[in-house]
């Protein structure tokens, strides 16, 4: 039986939303450059979380989680830019920006607690 993993589920659900936003931006808005950047960074968050979960060491876990955090920050940038350039409306962008902030906070807390646990063992 698979155990529920909050960051795994939230990052996957966010990736699904990003894929749908990408489809909207490219097919409806005919925007291809920014949307591709958003697609890459927004789906990479969950991919790196998955790699972190399967890590063979705490160091590898932290590395993959750190990459996930950086991708979340980049995604935040593209979302803000798409909002400011009117490719995303206020409602859609507000929801996505709220979700990415939540992901960033969760990932940051996991990283901090993992680093703290490692320091306490030394």
Query: pLDDT 10s per residue in the chain (122 long)?
Result: 678 999 999 999 999 999 999 999 999 999 999 999 999 999 999 999 999 999 999 999 999 999 999 999 999 999 999 999 999 999 999 999 999 999 999 999 999 999 888 888 76
Within a domain: residue 34? yes
Give the model's pLDDT for residue 121.
74
Q: Which helix (H) or strand (E) holds 46?
A: helix 33-53
CATH code for the domain of 81: 1.20.1440.60
Give the model's pLDDT for residue 75.
98
Give the model's pLDDT for residue 1.
67
Q: Beta-carbon neighbour count of residue 21 at 10 Å?
A: 22
**Cα angle for residues 86, 46, 64 (degrees, 5° grid):** 120
**3-state DSSP assignment of residue 86:** coil
Distance CA 88, CA 107 (A): 25
Q: Are 75 and 18 in contact (CB under 8 A)?
A: yes
Within a domain: residue 10? yes
Within a domain: residue 1? no
Residue 39, domain extent: 6-121
Q: What are phi and psi of 106, to 5 degrees?
A: -65, -45
- Name the domain count of the chain: 1
Within a domain: residue 85? yes
The pTM assigned to this predicted structure is 0.94
Give the model's pLDDT for residue 122.
63
Q: Are 101 and 1 in contact (CB under 8 A)?
A: no
């Amino acid at each position: 039986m698979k155990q529920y993993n909050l960051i795994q589920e939230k990052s996957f659900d966010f990736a699904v939303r990003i894929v749908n936003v990408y489809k909207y931006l490219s097919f409806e808005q005919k925007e291809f450059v920014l949307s591709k950047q958003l697609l890459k960074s927004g789906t990479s968050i969950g991919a790196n979380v998955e790699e972190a979960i399967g890590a063979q060491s705490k160091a590898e876990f932290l590395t993959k989680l750190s990459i996930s955090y950086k991708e979340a920050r980049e995604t935040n940038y593209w979302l803000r830019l798409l909002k400011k350039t009117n490719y995303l409306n206020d409602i859609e962008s507000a929801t996505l920006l709220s979700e990415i902030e939540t992901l960033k906070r969760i990932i940051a807390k996991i990283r901090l607690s993992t680093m703290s646990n490692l320091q306490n063992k030394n």
